[in-house]
Amino acid sequence: MENLMWNKRESPLRIEKRFEFDEYSKISKFMEKIEKLCKGKNIYPNISFGKSFVSLSIFLNNQEISSEEKDFSEDIDKFYLED
């Protein structure tokens, strides 16, 4: 599983990342972890997914990523690397 950096995009300001999976069952587990994290941190990214991927976009409140948004994205990276 390849782990790429979060990409920063302008207009609207956001960070985004695509996660690739070899099995759909892993996507389901990954999404369950993200759901719990979203509720715990009160951060709700845009999420899209398909048979072999999950893409997330976190819209930033400021010009720079906050510590909460950074921690949130790092937690998602950890979830991905757990499998």
Alpha carbon distance 50, 54 (integer Å): 7
pLDDT tens for residues 22-81?
999 999 999 999 999 999 999 999 999 999 999 999 988 888 888 999 999 999 999 999
Classified as helix, coil or strand, 43 is coil
Pairing mode, strands 14-20 and 53-59: antiparallel
pLDDT for residue 61? 80
**pLDDT exceeds 70 at position 1:** no
pLDDT of residue 23: 94
How far apart are alpha carbons 14 and 16 in whole angstroms?
A: 7
**Token representation of residue 39:** 């509720």
pTM: 0.83
Place of tokens 């072999």: 52
* Architecture field, domain 7-82: 2-Layer Sandwich (3.30)
